[in-house]
Amino acid sequence: MKPSTRMALLSLSITAAFAPMLAAPAIKLLKVDFPDTSALLIQWVVTLSSLFILPTLFMAGYLSRRFSRKNILIFGLVLYLIGGVGPAFLNSITGILVFRALLGLSIGLISPTFNALIAENFQGKERSRMNGLVTAVNGIGGAIFLTIGGFIAAYGWRSVFFSYSYAVLLLILVLLFIPKFPPVQRPAQGSGRPAVKLPRLFYAIALGSGLHIMLYFTIPTSLSLYLAENGIGTASTVGYLSALSLIGTFGAGLAITSLTQLLGRVLVPFAFVVFGLGFLVESLAHSVLTAAIAVLLIGFAEGLFFPMMFNKTAEIVPKERMTSAFSILLACNYFLQFMCPLFMKGVQSLFHLSSTRGTFMLLAAAMGVSMIISLLFVRARRDQQPAASLEN
């Protein structure tokens, strides 16, 4: 694959990963302009698009058999521009949420298409390297645009939505450098072979992937209101902190290969430790500096989990079911991403917590328990291998 095509594919990854987060700096400002609107509804300005990714996501397989992947990407990016920039011209939360839904539909076209192209055109270590680079590009691209979003939030919430116009550049890259890959061919019928099923382990991976995405999205959905509750920073602060979390993701994406070789099976427990430390520091934050350290740790943990899930999926899923597997994996990610505000509210109600600070403390404890369970699992697998060797 040509370097220019590879570059275009990597640039598309930022549309899927941080597009909902880009609206995070507008949350506090929207709350001021729409004081009678519930906090949960305003939080959905960030996460509603994640729910509406699902319809087009599950249509991806059908569309890929009818249209070339390049045409799908072009249409998706045009819809992305409309859904992203559209809220800047509206004066109601309902209208804003409608355009956020359009943004979600566009991501459901773009995300599985470029992920399928990566899965089809890269194998083995090269695929793992590409997934690491996708994570790194997500991080650095998101950090740049969220920093810009945090800066322009000082000019009002409408300016935040105008920042989605960067998709014009991505559209140009697709037009110039993505080949017109033909529609996917249906597998031959009547071969007599039984249908290939997805491994059971894959469903556990998909659920785990969605859960870590949901935890990470406590930053754009809850951090703004949390900072306001505690008098930390300004309206622009959440944009800068979200950008910093993506810097952490960028660093993890670059380091994932080396850390995998260094830590081996304990990489997952290590990621839980980093996640837990991030939430613990966040629960104790009384300044922008402390909050910055927390989101950096949370972003680094997310940058470890994200490529691990995609690499493991590529390892265990048969090639003929790869596209379906990625659709399910992404569906879990986006659905639980959408559920993040409800999850945070549910945790507070269930455990009778009076503040977001207490919720972050509880999440830190949950990560500690998860780390212990994952270590026990690693130990059990290590003990099983010598026993299996003796039997042989």
Q: What would the 3-class secondary structure string for 273-315 be?
A: HHHHHHHHHHHCCCCHHHHHHHHHHHHHHHHHHHHHHHHHHHH
Q: How far apart are the first and last CA of the chain?
A: 43
Can you list the domains of the chain with their CATH numbers?
3-181+200-384 (1.20.1250.20)
Question: In terms of pTM, does the model score above 0.85?
Answer: no
DSSP letter assigned to residue 386:
H
Give which of 282, 290, 26, 43 is closest to 150, Cα–Cα. 26
Cα–Cα nearest to 361, from 342, 344, 337, 338: 344
- Residue 183 backbone phi and psi in degrees, to 5: -55, 150
CB atoms within 10 A of CB 215: 22
DSSP string covering 3-69: HHHHHHHHHHHHHHHHTTGGGGGGHHHHHHH-TTS-HHHHHHHHHHHHHHHHHHHHHHHHHHHHS-H
Q: Give residue 369's Cα distance to chain centre.
A: 23
- Looking at residue 101, its pLDDT comes to 93
Cα(172)–Cα(339) distance, rounded to whole angstroms?
A: 33
pLDDT computed for residue 195 by the predictor: 60
Separation of alpha carbons 90 and 83, rounded Å: 12
CA distance 371 to 367: 6
Distance from C-alpha of 313 to C-alpha of 304, rounded to nearest angstrom: 15
Q: Where are the alpha helices (DSSP H) in the chain?
A: 3-18, 27-33, 39-66, 69-85, 93-121, 124-152, 157-162, 167-177, 200-216, 218-229, 237-263, 267-283, 288-316, 322-338, 340-350, 356-391
Report the C-alpha dihedral over residues 240, 290, 48, 113, rounded to 10 degrees.
70
pLDDT attached to residue 371: 93
Structure tokens at 87: 């809220």
Those residues whose C-beta lies under 8 Å from the C-beta of residue 348, and which sit 6 or more positions away, are: 354, 356, 358, 359
Q: CB 43: neighbour CB atoms within 10 A? A: 24
CB atoms within 10 A of CB 165: 12
What's the pLDDT score for residue 390?
47
SS3 assignment, position 1: coil
Distance CA 222, CA 43 (A): 8
Greatest C-alpha distance within the chain: 71
Residue 68's pLDDT is what?
A: 86
The series of mean pLDDT values per 10 residues for the chain, 392 residues long, is: 81 74 81 86 83 82 81 93 94 93 90 79 74 78 72 85 90 90 61 68 91 86 78 74 84 84 88 95 90 93 87 79 78 84 87 86 94 89 62 51
Q: Is 338 exposed, middle or buried (0-12, 13-18, 19+ CB in 10 A)?
A: buried
pLDDT for 364 equals 95
Instruction: Measure Cα distances from 217 to 55, 95, 170, 245, 336 in Å.
Output: 21, 23, 24, 11, 9
DSSP single-letter state for residue 155: G
**Residue 307, token pair as written in the block:** 């490529």
Could you give phi then psi for residue 180, rounded to 5 degrees?
-85, 75
